[in-house]
Amino acid sequence: MPSGSPQPVVPLDDDDYPAYTMGRAAEMLGTTPAFLRTLGEHRLITPLRSEGGHRRYSRYQLRIAARARELVDQGTPIEAACRIVILEDQLEEAQRINEQLRTQGGRPQPNTPA
């Protein structure tokens, strides 16, 4: 590949790429597949499905699941843990947007390029 050409995008560098099977995700989190299914039932994470119908999780989803597990391990009911994680995620996004607006002098950036 010539030095001036852009590097190809490797899916594993993408936080949203569904790289992990349910078994591997549960192993990485130190939990059970049932816990991951429960997070799906509470709509905290929605894994993509392989062609064979198997759940596949991204690194972003694993971080969300890890936070929920942390709360559950501290004694928070799973329903409440899921709601807390959702609210934390929404707050983080709102803070990011507020910071972006502050640095742009209060003007939101258009979604389309000029």
Give tens-digit pLDDT for 34-48: 999 999 999 999 999
Cα–Cα–Cα angle for 41, 61, 109, rounded to 5 degrees: 115
Sign of CA dihedral 96, 67, 39, 59: positive
Using pLDDT thresholds of 50, 70 and 90, give the confidence band for residue 104: confident
CA dist., res. 3 & res. 17, Å (int): 27
Q: What is the pLDDT of residue 25?
A: 95
Cβ proximity of 42 and 12 under 8 Å: no
Average pLDDT over residues 68-74: 97
- Strand segments, DSSP code E, in the chain are 20-21, 48-49, 55-57
Write out pLDDT tens, residues 14-64. Answer: 888 888 999 999 999 999 999 999 999 999 999 999 889 999 999 999 999
